[in-house]
Structure 1
Amino acid sequence: MVRHNNQLPDNLPQLQNLIKRDPESYKEEFLQQYLHYKSTLEVFCLEPTQFNKSLDELVTFLAQVAHCYSDDLKTYPQEIVDILQTHNTILDNEMRMTFCKALIQLRNKSLLEPTALLSLFFELLKCQDKALRQFLKMHIVTDVKNVNAKHKNTKVNTALQNFMFSMLKDPNAKAVKMSVDIMIELYNRNVWNDIKTVNVIATGCFSKITKVAVASLKFFLGTDPEEEGSDDSDSDDEPNMKEIMMANKVNKKTKKRQKQLQKAKQLFVKAKKKKSKAPQYNFSALHLIHDPQDFAEKLFKQIEKKNDRFEVKLMTLDVISRLIGLHNLFLLNFYPYIQRFLQPHQREVTKLLQFIAQASHELIPPDVLEPVLETLVNNFITERNSADVMAIGLNTVREICTRCPLAMNEVLLEDLVRYKQYKERSVMMAARSLIGTFRRLMPDLLRKKDRGRPTEANIMIKPSKYGEIQANEFITGAEVLYDQHTESTEEIDSNTEDDDEWVDVSQSEEEISDDESIAKDINETTKSSIDENDDDKNLSSSENISTENICGANSKEREMDEVPQKKNNLTKQLKKAQKLEMKEKHKSERNVELTTEKKTKASLISTERLLTDKDFRKIDIALAKQEVTHAKRSTKRTHDQIETNQDGELVKLSDIENIYKKRKHDKDARQKSVKKGQEQRDKFGFKDRRQNTMCSRTNREKRKGKAFPMLKQKLKGKVKRSFREKQIALKNHLLKQRKMK
């Protein structure tokens, strides 16, 4: 024990270890170190800019053993806090970091309140030390997360949020940026995902500091869903276990391969768990803004006043367009502002087209969006542009019309629909997609030949007027669940077939009776007209006797022949017109009856039953069938392409940039190139490609046909001789020359 005590004053880590094991036995040594700490602290306060190594070691030592002597170290945390508050900017970087680490250790041991420590750390973000700022940011995020781990600590949260709100008004740019980053990180980790945090970050969009404004705008834009879409598919990290197990059986068993197999199994289990987890859906931050109209107006004024970089302007326009689309706002100056930049040569023009499509909704007056469509048509959808530009313009028109179909008029739509027969495939497909959208939304605007055959889904469509809201009292497609048993459905099908036959028969009888009555009316009208004509003729004959004498008998015969022909033509035309009218009336009446039946069945089910997941699956299948099934004969359509595009809240950039192009190297093209190469190639073996096959061959060519033992000696080549062998060879050469003399 004596040996340890002699070494303890100089060895603080050993003393720290012993105190943690037995605090009471080593209290004297601790008090000795504590007195030493107080004396060094007084010396340090005289020159706070200098680094003090002994104080550094003592501060960390006391922070480690503070929980063992909590009564003796009551004032210790406050002393360090006071030093950091008074000398925070002039302290040495290493000393400041040790003080912060000591406070974090005290906070982890519950010897310090979170509000006091975190408020101090927010003030320390003003220091010119990047490593310290990053360290404090990590600690603040983790500490707030731990505080709210079990349940939301509203007292701590409100105090810190108020402090952060005051920090956003601080003149120090780095402190403001770091505080905004902390709030965004806490929101993304679902710690502070409340309305207050979102609205505090919203104030950062109007900051004079560009970095703060950009960070706040990026927060509201969030991560791009197109980039995250790759996570849904099988990633490269997810292994194929069958291939790995097969390779492990075939290959040589080594330790490295065993480790790889274990790692692959772990990744496979992890991927399986990830797929089995239910997806989490969170509200977007744009939904939680208090006054979105005022927020959008302020952002738009900021764009007009400030002269920011083009990228910052694009981000601001994106946020404004999303706000208008999500909350159905009215910001009528926004559309003429973007309309100026809608040119094919404009930088990032596809993003601007995306913004104009996002900012369109049903409540915008059609007069506001009509000039936008006209500029799109005049600048993009013209034959002087390339096919890609025309296709992008048509795609943008389609996206605008899906959200505000009343902006399109019949004349403009007829012009755009004609591009369905354009020579370029991309333009043709874009025009057809526009036709498909109007078939779903407003088929009456299209011409009859462009509407396609009516389906069961198209019958239910009723084009809404401006400001009209069509609220249903039932779940669409719920009529499928009205009769679940097969026997009842078969009976209903047989009854409906009989009804159809009866309707057809009654229709034919009604048409016959109507035709007879029409014919009678026509005959009566023709007779009266003939009598009137005869009277007129008698009058004219009495007045103009000379003309009758000139015309003679031939003209009278021609007139008598022409009258019955005119009668027959009139009767035929009238009959056709009446038949068409009756058929259309009958169809419309029948469609109305079908829709009313469906509505009654759907309302009964949706009011009387609680629908399960299986029921909703059946409804989805039935709705998909209705889009394919014809309204009259119940036959499925095979040649037309059905668009089941469900329009989301935001417009995807890929929908506008979606240009139909055939890939250069698809499977068919590759097969053709392979076959073309095979035609030029010889089938089997070596072919002699000499111009004159009768000429002799070289030794090198002859060598290929010789047996290997004959060539074995020549393949060795010249072997490098040693110095001794060279001496012997030279001696023999000299002796040979002497003999020859």
Structure 2
Amino acid sequence: MVRHNNQLPDNLPQLQNLIKRDPESYKEEFSQQYRHFLSSLEVFELNPSNENKSLDELVMFIAQVAQCYPDVCLQFPQHLVDLLKNHATTLDPQMRNCFVKALILLRNKNLIPALDLLELFFQLLRCPDKNLRTFLQNHIITDIKNMNAKHKDMKLNSTLQNFMYSMLKDTNPRAAKMSVDIMIELYKKNVWNDPKTVNVIATVGCFSKITKVQVASLKFFLGHDEEDKDPDESGSEDEVDLKSALMSNRVNKKTKKRKKQLEAVKKQVVKASKKKKNAEPFNFSGIHYIHNPQGLAEGLFKQLQSGNERFEVKLMHLDVISRLIGIHDLFLFSFYPYITRFIQPHQRQVTRILQFAAQASHELVPGDVLEPVLKTIANNFITERNSSDVMAIGLNATREICSRCPLAMGEELLRDLAMYKAYKEKSVMMAARSLIMLYREQLPAMLHKKDRGRQTEAQAERKIKEYGEVHAHESVPGAEVLLKKSKTIDLGDSDDDSDSNDGQWVDVSDSEGGPVSDGDDDDEEDESDEEEDDDDDDEEEEDDSGEDEEESDEESENEEEEETTTSKKSNVPKKSATKKEPKEKKQKLPKEVKLLNEKEAAQELALTRIFTDEDFKRIDMANIKKAVTNSRKRPLEKDKAEFVKLDNIEMIYKKRKHDKDSRLETVKEGRKDRERFGYKDGRKNENCSTTNREKRKGKNFIMMRHKARGKVKKSFKDKQKALRDHLLKQKKMK
């Protein structure tokens, strides 16, 4: 069919619209345009550096309607791919961008395999066109993310990863840098967040000869992930915990000491609740996926010593190495003498270097290795010839190192540093006291007796660990509180004793291993049953020797001691202990029943019972109470953090200067209690006359100018004359 006056070949947008509406009716026109494209492509390949706008229009037209004629456009994507592979660097930038956009349109319509297109785009990253590289990077990340949206295609991902790993070793710095950026971005988007990706970045990227690739890889292990914050989270649970803590510590008689303890409990609960809400400062898990952290740390340290990079890159190496040592508990003893060289107050970024020294500390590092670092800090920072800020930073860095390796501090050095607790500058004083508080918790014996403070219950229960010693908990710490009966606490403001329920122990020696009962009736029935069993046993075994009688005597004495100790702990009167009966009337316990101490009973309870949320709340409150009992302000024991905050080292307590607004506020506050403003002469009667000196202040300066002249300093000659005249006058008067 021949159309007369056909203008469609010259109007491609109109033809594109008509083809999308009715593809079959305009197949001939499309075939004509496709043949025109093939002929134009042959001509263009003869001189690919020149721009051909008509070819651009044909390429975009065919890419828009290629899905309507898949049999005709079967080789169209391959033509564009071959053209870009052969002439990528010589093509005009506008033409190259046009071909890339056309291929992306075909990829969105599933007319070209994703693997072929991504391999081409990775090769195009070598092009000296920054806009094109950024465009390709965004498309590669988006395309791979969309392919793994519903389910991960492991075969395709593995193929793409292997190709990208080879690109990391490319000699072209642009392609290698873009490849590592794509891998890092895909890891952050949880697409390629597997150990394989992390270890390739660690083994290939961190040791690349291209500085930009090396820096990007090091930054990958120094990054942070922002956790999603839930705005709907409320502090209702923390408020309940706070009320429970306050009510559990109330007693009949109110004293100042108990009031201080209640305030301390309140502060501890508030701090604990804030700590639970806040995300951890170091939560980037890439460094945990490394297969050989010891080899990576040694390789980076060797590269740091032999390299000649700028100072910022050296700091990145030190940061990554210190994190590897601290997180994986590595041994790299040559790292500490190397970092000691930079610990000087005048050193650039010295606070970060101190941070790295703290991060590289852990409990398995021998104290002899870390002790020179502490002595260097003490000699260079903690001396009175330095400013107070420098001294405070040195003490803070010492505290951060010792919190991770307490055995690194010597007793003599610790006692010398503790003497700064009475220093005139507040920043130094607070830093020294924080160090003392640390060793009160860890190794109080190293402190002077006056610095050890009053020991809390939690400190008394804590065992001091030797080098390399690990304390494994046999039960849930603080589960002993569940052995006591609990009743609902009245939240009203009554003066009744809320601790009257404490001190009554629950029987956990159930022969069937069942759950612990909390009722009073059950305990009474158990006691009556035990008495009946004892009577039966006495009737059956009357001829036994005195060994059983002695055992029963010891058991009864243990029971009396437990009752007396529990009655002393609680402030409520208990039932009086039973008197010791004669030996012939003693009752012997059955063989199935075992008398357990508090620790064994808590362990048995943890094995035979599933703790509820209420049980864990009671345990937390009991641990908080132990931390503040018999102490004024004692912080809870902090867990070891993987990442050392720089603010902990740069934390300086000092009163900052007021700005203009704050100064005016303080001035206005000071004027509130004044009766009148202005000069106060101290006269009792305001209506009486003033002195000439007071009147002089209100006169014009011209009137008092001659008086001011008299205040000019006299010369030495005038003073001699005045002194001579004064002496002559006194002589005549005599």
TM score, norm. by length of structure 1? 0.69
Residue 204 to residue 677, structure 1, CA distance change in 2 (3 Å): same
Matches within 5 A, 1:245-394: 284-394=285-395
Q: Which residue does the alignment assign to 2:654? A: 661
1:622, distance to aligned residue in structure 2 (A): 2.4
Matches within 5 A, 1:606-645: 606-630=606-630, 637-638=631-632, 640-642=633-635, 644-645=637-638
Query: Contact conserved, 1:217 with 1:315, CA < 8 A, in 2?
Result: yes
Q: Which residue does the alignment assign to 2:51? A: 51
Matched, 1:119 2:184: no
Q: What SS class does the counterpart of residue 435 from structure 2 fall into?
A: helix
Instruction: Give, in whole Å, the separation in 1 of the partners of 2:161 and 2:371.
Output: 45
Q: Which residue does the alignment assign to 1:493? A: 503
Q: Which residue does the alignment assign to 1:672? A: 666
Query: Contact conserved, 1:483 with 1:489, CA < 8 A, in 2?
Result: no
Identity between Structure 1 and Structure 2 (%): 61
Instruction: Give, in whole Å, the separation in 2 of the partners of 1:188 and 1:161.
Output: 15
1:284, distance to aligned residue in structure 2 (A): 1.4
Query: Contact conserved, 1:354 with 1:651, CA < 8 A, in 2?
Result: yes
Q: Which residue does the alignment assign to 1:81? A: 81
Instruction: Give, in whole Å, the separation in 1 of the partners of 2:48 and 2:300.
Output: 46
1:605, distance to aligned residue in structure 2 (A): 3.7
1:118, distance to aligned residue in structure 2 (A): 0.3
Residue 277 to residue 140, structure 1, CA distance change in 2 (3 Å): farther
Instruction: Give, in whole Å, the separation in 2 of the partners of 1:648 and 1:348.
Output: 22
Instruction: Give, in whole Å, the separation in 2 of the partners of 1:668 and 1:601.
Output: 60
Q: What SS class does the counterpart of residue 467 from structure 2 fall into?
A: coil
After superposition, give the CA deviation of every residue in 1:337-380 in whole Å (9 maximum; x if it has no partner): 01111111111100000000000101111110111111111111
Q: What SS class does the counterpart of residue 119 from structure 2 fall into?
A: helix
Query: Contact conserved, 1:436 with 1:643, CA < 8 A, in 2?
Result: no
Unaligned runs of 5+ in 2: 233-275, 489-497, 506-560, 570-595, 680-695, 701-734
1:642, distance to aligned residue in structure 2 (A): 2.7
Residue 277 to residue 56, structure 1, CA distance change in 2 (3 Å): farther
Instruction: Give, in whole Å, the separation in 2 of the partners of 1:501 and 1:162.
Output: 68
Instruction: Give, in whole Å, the separation in 2 of the partners of 1:277 and 1:465.
Output: 33
Tell me the amino acid that sits aligned with residue 295 of structure 1.
L
Residue 276 to residue 677, structure 1, CA distance change in 2 (3 Å): closer
1:179, distance to aligned residue in structure 2 (A): 0.6
Residue 597 to residue 380, structure 1, CA distance change in 2 (3 Å): farther
Matches within 5 A, 1:39-188: 39-188=39-188
After superposition, give the CA deviation of every residue in 1:250-294 in whole Å (9 maximum; x if it has no partner): xxxxxxxxxxxxxxxxxxxxxxxxx99999996511101110000
RMSD: 3.3
Instruction: Give, in whole Å, the separation in 2 of the partners of 1:151 and 1:484.
Output: 52
Tell me the amino acid that sits aligned with residue 91 of structure 1.
L
- Alignment length (residue pairs): 547
Tell me the amino acid that sits aligned with residue 652 of structure 2.
I
Instruction: Give, in whole Å, the separation in 1 of the partners of 2:404 and 2:4.
Output: 82
Q: What SS class does the counterpart of residue 26 from structure 1 fall into?
A: helix
Instruction: Give, in whole Å, the separation in 1 of the partners of 2:279 and 2:428.
Output: 41
Instruction: Give, in whole Å, the separation in 2 of the partners of 1:375 and 1:279.
Output: 31
Query: Contact conserved, 1:141 with 1:186, CA < 8 A, in 2?
Result: yes
After superposition, give the CA deviation of every residue in 1:375-421 in whole Å (9 maximum; x if it has no partner): 11111111111111111111111111111111112221111111111
1:662, distance to aligned residue in structure 2 (A): 2.1
Residue 654 to residue 502, structure 1, CA distance change in 2 (3 Å): closer
Instruction: Give, in whole Å, the separation in 1 of the partners of 2:278 and 2:56.
Output: 48
Instruction: Give, in whole Å, the separation in 2 of the partners of 1:478 and 1:453.
Output: 25
Instruction: Give, in whole Å, the separation in 1 of the partners of 2:450 and 2:410.
Output: 18
Tell me the amino acid that sits aligned with residue 673 of structure 1.
V
Residue 279 to residue 366, structure 1, CA distance change in 2 (3 Å): closer
Residue 362 to residue 129, structure 1, CA distance change in 2 (3 Å): same
1:442, distance to aligned residue in structure 2 (A): 1.6
Q: What SS class does the counterpart of residue 433 from structure 2 fall into?
A: helix
Instruction: Give, in whole Å, the separation in 2 of the partners of 1:151 and 1:494.
Output: 57
Instruction: Give, in whole Å, the separation in 1 of the partners of 2:133 and 2:351.
Output: 39
Matches within 5 A, 1:216-231: 216-223=217-224
Query: Contact conserved, 1:480 with 1:619, CA < 8 A, in 2?
Result: yes
Residue 47 to residue 410, structure 1, CA distance change in 2 (3 Å): same
Query: Contact conserved, 2:198 with 2:289, CA < 8 A, in 1?
Result: yes
Query: Contact conserved, 1:97 with 1:132, CA < 8 A, in 2?
Result: yes
Residue 71 to residue 334, structure 1, CA distance change in 2 (3 Å): same
Tell me the amino acid that sits aligned with residue 293 of structure 1.
Q
Matched, 1:36 2:36: yes
TM score, norm. by length of structure 2? 0.69
Query: Contact conserved, 1:478 with 1:601, CA < 8 A, in 2?
Result: no
1:475, distance to aligned residue in structure 2 (A): 2.1
1:34, distance to aligned residue in structure 2 (A): 0.8
Residue 2 to residue 35, structure 1, CA distance change in 2 (3 Å): closer
Q: Which residue does the alignment assign to 2:201? A: 201
Tell me the amino acid that sits aligned with residue 453 of structure 1.
R
1:229, distance to aligned residue in structure 2 (A): 10
Tell me the amino acid that sits aligned with residue 493 of structure 1.
G
Unaligned runs of 5+ in 1: 235-274, 505-595, 631-636, 684-688, 694-741
1:6, distance to aligned residue in structure 2 (A): 1.6
Tell me the amino acid that sits aligned with residue 423 of structure 2.
Y
- Segment drifting more, 494-503 vs 431-440: 494-503
Q: What SS class does the counterpart of residue 457 from structure 1 fall into?
A: helix
Q: Which residue does the alignment assign to 1:434? A: 435
1:485, distance to aligned residue in structure 2 (A): 2.8
Q: Which residue does the alignment assign to 1:246? A: none
Instruction: Give, in whole Å, the separation in 1 of the partners of 2:10 and 2:436.
Output: 87
Q: Which residue does the alignment assign to 2:253? A: none
Residue 321 to residue 232, structure 1, CA distance change in 2 (3 Å): farther
Query: Contact conserved, 2:141 with 2:186, CA < 8 A, in 1?
Result: yes
Q: What SS class does the counterpart of residue 9 from structure 1 fall into?
A: helix
- Segment drifting more, 126-135 vs 615-624: 615-624
After superposition, give the CA deviation of every residue in 1:100-124 in whole Å (9 maximum; x if it has no partner): 1111111111111111100110000
- The structure with the largest helix share of the pair is 1
Instruction: Give, in whole Å, the separation in 2 of the partners of 1:4 and 1:405.
Output: 96
Q: Which residue does the alignment assign to 2:412? A: 411
Query: Contact conserved, 1:350 with 1:653, CA < 8 A, in 2?
Result: yes
Tell me the amino acid that sits aligned with residue 653 of structure 2.
Y
1:209, distance to aligned residue in structure 2 (A): 1.2
After superposition, give the CA deviation of every residue in 1:105-163 in whole Å (9 maximum; x if it has no partner): 11111111111100110000001111110110000000000010011111111111111
Instruction: Give, in whole Å, the separation in 2 of the partners of 1:49 and 1:35.
Output: 22
Instruction: Give, in whole Å, the separation in 2 of the partners of 1:298 and 1:219.
Output: 17
Q: What SS class does the counterpart of residue 163 from structure 2 fall into?
A: helix
After superposition, give the CA deviation of every residue in 1:667-692 in whole Å (9 maximum; x if it has no partner): 99665322456769579xxxxx9957
- Segment drifting more, 368-377 vs 445-454: 445-454
Q: Which residue does the alignment assign to 1:11? A: 11
Instruction: Give, in whole Å, the separation in 2 of the partners of 1:34 and 1:494.
Output: 94
> Structure with the greater relative contact order (CA < 8 A, sep ≥ 6): 1 or 2?
2
- Segment drifting more, 143-152 vs 5-14: 5-14
1:450, distance to aligned residue in structure 2 (A): 1.6
Q: What SS class does the counterpart of residue 459 from structure 1 fall into?
A: helix
Residue 669 to residue 278, structure 1, CA distance change in 2 (3 Å): closer
1:491, distance to aligned residue in structure 2 (A): 5.5
Residue 347 to residue 334, structure 1, CA distance change in 2 (3 Å): same
- Segment drifting more, 644-653 vs 106-115: 644-653
Residue 407 to residue 4, structure 1, CA distance change in 2 (3 Å): farther
